């Protein structure tokens, strides 16, 4: 199979130093840079990536643009903070073309505060990341974009390690934009929630993430992650409440 890799990035120089060496097998790496102020472009080019500058206007449209720059029929979508393990690389390199198969799901394993999570909703959950662009592409979603494709989808076994946040400061740098985008998406769907329910939902979300999703087995990092996730959902719905009041 002929495969291109796409990455969208903004100020991801440090993450790219970890992720790009694992793409040594690929001869077409496309990186869409949202006007980074660090060395994202220079580092990407040093590993052979083609870099295109484009202001970010949503995850779906940004990735559609990335797909349009690729030269191979199959596209592997990775984030700058994701690292393929060797088993997954070998598995992908052994794939053969098939008229029936149009996409593959890859298990993503969450890494938070230096710990690889073996449990929880964010770990080992399959994501459609490798697809034939002649049979599908990304939708236009601003956040939580999806690949819409026809044909059969299979699942691979190798892992992608997701180093989502460097530290807590980095988490909260993303927190505001993610909760705002999530609130806007809920409003567009006509959703609403009473203020009292927004406030009282915090312990429910914590219970769900810590106990129901199994983060209790991820040690102290699992506790912190569950606490932050409960806060994330609470703030997202508080922002939705604010949007609806306007």
- Read off the pTM: 0.86
For the beta carbon of residue 103, count every other beta carbon within 10 angstroms: 22
Q: What is the dihedral of CA 25, 27, 31, 37, to 10 degrees?
A: 80
Rounded Cα gap, residues 90 and 145, in angstroms: 27
The answer to whether 110 and 162 have CB atoms below 8 angstroms apart is yes
Q: Exposure of 119 by Cβ count < 10 A (0-12 exposed, 13-18 middle, 19+ buried)?
A: middle
What's the pLDDT score for residue 67? 98
122: nearest Cα among 82, 180, 76? 82
92: nearest Cα among 50, 31, 28, 155? 155
Enumerate domains of the chain plus CATH numbers.
Answer: 3-164 (3.90.550.10), 167-245 (no CATH)
What's the pLDDT score for residue 124? 78
Q: What's the pLDDT tens digit per position in 231-245?
A: 999 999 999 999 999
Which residues of the chain fall below pLDDT 50? none
| Whole-number Cα distances in Å, 43 to 15, 18, 29, 37, 49 | 10, 11, 13, 13, 9
How remote is the C-alpha of 1 from its chain's centroid? 24
What's the pLDDT score for residue 198? 95
């Amino acid at each position: 199979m002929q495969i291109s890799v796409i990455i969208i990035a903004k100020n991801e120089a440090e993450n790219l130093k970890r992720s790009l060496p694992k793409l040594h097998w690929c001869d077409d790496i496309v990186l869409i840079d949202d006007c980074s102020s660090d060395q994202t472009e220079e580092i990407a080019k040093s590993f052979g990536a083609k870099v295109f500058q484009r202001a970010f206007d949503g995850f779906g449209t940004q990735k559609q643009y990335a797909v349009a720059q690729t030269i191979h029929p199959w596209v592997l979508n990775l984030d700058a903070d994701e690292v393929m393990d060797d088993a997954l690389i070998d598995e992908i390199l052994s794939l053969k073309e098939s008229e029936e198969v149009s996409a593959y799901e890859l298990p993503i394993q969450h890494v938070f505060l230096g710990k690889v999570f073996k449990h929880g909703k964010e770990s080992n959950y399959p994501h459609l990341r490798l697809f034939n662009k002649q049979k599908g592409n990304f939708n236009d979603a601003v956040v939580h974009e999806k690949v819409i494709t026809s044909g059969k989808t299979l699942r691979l076994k190798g892992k992608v390690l997701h180093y989502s946040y460097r530290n807590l400061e980095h988490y909260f740098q993303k927190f505001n934009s993610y909760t705002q985008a999530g609130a806007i998406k809920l409003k567009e769907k006509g959703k609403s929630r009473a203020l009292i329910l927004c406030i009282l939902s915090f312990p429910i979300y914590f219970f769900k993430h810590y106990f129901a999703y199994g983060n209790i087995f991820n040690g102290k990092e699992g506790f912190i992650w569950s606490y932050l996730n409960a806060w994330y959902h609470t703030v997202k719905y508080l922002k939705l409440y604010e949007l609806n009041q306007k």
